[in-house]
Amino acid sequence: MILIVDDEIRMRRLVGDFLKTEGYEIIEAQDGKEELEKIATDNGVTFKEIYADAGNAEQFSEVIKAALAESGGFDILVNNAGITRDGLSFRMKMQDWDDVIRVNLTSAFIACQIVSSDMIKKRTGCEHVYLSILT
Protein backbone atom coordinates (compact mmCIF):
# COMPACT_ATOMS: atom_id res chain seq x y z
CA MET A 1 0.00 0.00 0.00
CA ILE A 2 1.23 3.49 -0.87
CA LEU A 3 0.61 6.74 1.01
CA ILE A 4 0.99 9.77 -1.27
CA VAL A 5 1.32 13.21 0.30
CA ASP A 6 0.82 15.39 -2.76
CA ASP A 7 -1.42 17.42 -5.02
CA GLU A 8 0.68 17.36 -8.20
CA ILE A 9 -0.68 15.81 -11.43
CA ARG A 10 2.74 14.72 -12.69
CA MET A 11 3.31 12.82 -9.44
CA ARG A 12 0.03 10.95 -9.91
CA ARG A 13 1.14 9.95 -13.40
CA LEU A 14 4.49 8.68 -12.10
CA VAL A 15 2.70 6.68 -9.44
CA GLY A 16 0.26 5.38 -12.05
CA ASP A 17 3.15 4.02 -14.10
CA PHE A 18 4.51 2.29 -11.02
CA LEU A 19 1.09 0.80 -10.21
CA LYS A 20 0.86 -0.79 -13.65
CA THR A 21 3.52 -3.28 -12.63
CA GLU A 22 3.14 -3.49 -8.84
CA GLY A 23 -0.62 -3.57 -8.04
CA TYR A 24 -0.50 -1.44 -4.88
CA GLU A 25 -3.52 0.02 -3.11
CA ILE A 26 -3.32 3.83 -2.99
CA ILE A 27 -4.21 6.30 -0.25
CA GLU A 28 -3.65 9.96 -1.10
CA ALA A 29 -3.49 12.79 1.42
CA GLN A 30 -4.25 15.79 -0.80
CA ASP A 31 -6.28 16.81 -3.83
CA GLY A 32 -6.56 15.08 -7.20
CA LYS A 33 -9.19 12.43 -6.67
CA GLU A 34 -10.41 12.07 -10.26
CA GLU A 35 -6.97 11.54 -11.80
CA LEU A 36 -5.84 9.00 -9.21
CA GLU A 37 -9.19 7.18 -9.21
CA LYS A 38 -8.84 6.71 -12.98
CA ILE A 39 -5.25 5.45 -12.64
CA ALA A 40 -6.31 3.02 -9.90
CA THR A 41 -9.34 1.76 -11.86
CA ASP A 42 -7.30 1.36 -15.04
CA ASN A 43 -4.80 -0.74 -13.11
CA GLY A 44 -7.22 -2.78 -10.98
CA VAL A 45 -6.17 -1.37 -7.60
CA THR A 46 -8.02 0.38 -4.78
CA PHE A 47 -8.00 4.15 -4.29
CA LYS A 48 -9.05 6.08 -1.21
CA GLU A 49 -8.74 9.84 -0.79
CA ILE A 50 -8.22 11.61 2.52
CA TYR A 51 -7.64 15.29 3.12
CA ALA A 52 -5.17 16.97 5.42
CA ASP A 53 -3.74 20.46 5.54
CA ALA A 54 0.00 19.76 5.31
CA GLY A 55 0.61 23.16 6.91
CA ASN A 56 -1.32 22.23 10.06
CA ALA A 57 0.94 19.81 11.95
CA GLU A 58 -1.67 18.65 14.45
CA GLN A 59 -4.38 17.97 11.85
CA PHE A 60 -1.91 16.44 9.40
CA SER A 61 -0.52 14.11 12.08
CA GLU A 62 -4.00 12.94 13.13
CA VAL A 63 -5.08 12.27 9.54
CA ILE A 64 -1.91 10.28 8.76
CA LYS A 65 -2.32 8.25 11.98
CA ALA A 66 -5.97 7.53 11.15
CA ALA A 67 -5.08 6.44 7.59
CA LEU A 68 -2.34 4.22 8.99
CA ALA A 69 -4.71 2.61 11.48
CA GLU A 70 -7.46 2.10 8.88
CA SER A 71 -5.12 0.70 6.23
CA GLY A 72 -3.05 -1.52 8.48
CA GLY A 73 0.19 0.06 7.25
CA PHE A 74 2.01 1.34 4.21
CA ASP A 75 4.79 -0.17 2.14
CA ILE A 76 5.75 3.09 0.45
CA LEU A 77 5.50 6.73 1.50
CA VAL A 78 5.70 9.36 -1.26
CA ASN A 79 6.25 12.88 0.10
CA ASN A 80 5.71 15.61 -2.48
CA ALA A 81 3.64 18.22 -0.64
CA GLY A 82 5.02 21.68 -1.16
CA ILE A 83 4.31 25.35 -1.71
CA THR A 84 6.32 28.24 -3.06
CA ARG A 85 6.44 31.85 -2.03
CA ASP A 86 8.58 33.14 -4.87
CA GLY A 87 10.35 36.43 -4.54
CA LEU A 88 13.57 37.98 -3.44
CA SER A 89 14.67 36.61 -0.09
CA PHE A 90 15.34 40.02 1.40
CA ARG A 91 11.72 40.99 0.67
CA MET A 92 10.22 37.72 1.89
CA LYS A 93 7.96 38.05 4.89
CA MET A 94 8.67 35.81 7.85
CA GLN A 95 5.13 34.37 7.61
CA ASP A 96 5.83 33.27 4.01
CA TRP A 97 9.07 31.62 5.15
CA ASP A 98 7.26 29.85 8.01
CA ASP A 99 4.52 28.63 5.63
CA VAL A 100 7.06 27.14 3.21
CA ILE A 101 9.02 25.39 5.97
CA ARG A 102 5.85 24.08 7.62
CA VAL A 103 4.38 22.61 4.43
CA ASN A 104 7.56 21.56 2.61
CA LEU A 105 9.66 20.20 5.48
CA THR A 106 7.59 19.73 8.63
CA SER A 107 4.84 17.76 6.88
CA ALA A 108 7.45 15.44 5.32
CA PHE A 109 9.05 14.92 8.72
CA ILE A 110 5.69 14.16 10.37
CA ALA A 111 4.61 11.67 7.69
CA CYS A 112 8.02 9.98 7.71
CA GLN A 113 8.08 9.77 11.50
CA ILE A 114 4.64 8.19 11.75
CA VAL A 115 4.92 5.81 8.78
CA SER A 116 8.52 4.70 9.38
CA SER A 117 7.79 4.00 13.04
CA ASP A 118 5.04 1.61 11.95
CA MET A 119 7.25 0.04 9.27
CA ILE A 120 10.00 -0.61 11.81
CA LYS A 121 7.60 -2.16 14.33
CA LYS A 122 6.14 -4.46 11.68
CA ARG A 123 9.45 -5.08 9.89
CA THR A 124 7.69 -4.34 6.61
CA GLY A 125 7.73 -1.59 4.04
CA CYS A 126 10.90 -0.12 2.77
CA GLU A 127 10.58 3.01 0.75
CA HIS A 128 10.29 6.70 1.42
CA VAL A 129 10.33 8.89 -1.66
CA TYR A 130 10.91 12.63 -1.38
CA LEU A 131 10.33 14.67 -4.52
CA SER A 132 10.13 18.27 -5.52
CA ILE A 133 8.20 18.92 -8.69
CA LEU A 134 7.28 22.50 -9.53
CA THR A 135 4.87 23.47 -12.28
pLDDT digits (tens, 9 = 90+) for 7-49: 565 665 666 666 656 666 666 555 556 766 777 788 777 777 7
| Overall pTM > 0.85 | no
Q: What is the pLDDT of residue 93?
A: 92
Percent of the chain with pLDDT strictly greater than 70 = 67
Q: What is the pLDDT of residue 79?
A: 80
Query: Of the candidates 1, 5, 12, 2, which has an alpha carbon nearest to the alpha carbon of residue 109?
Result: 5
CATH architecture of 2-130: 3-Layer(aba) Sandwich (3.40)
Helices marked H in the chain = 9-22, 33-42, 57-71, 94-101, 107-122
pLDDT at 110 over 90: yes
pLDDT at 117 over 60: yes
φ and ψ at residue 87, rounded to 5 degrees: 155, 175
Q: CA–CA separation, 124 vs 23, rounded Å?
A: 17
Helix 57-71, helix 107-122: angle, nearest 10: 30
Q: CA–CA separation, 101 vs 93, rounded Å?
A: 13
Q: What is the pLDDT of residue 135?
A: 45
Mean pLDDT lowest among 18-22, 43-47, 91-95, 122-126: 18-22
Q: CA–CA separation, 31 vs 132, rounded Å?
A: 17
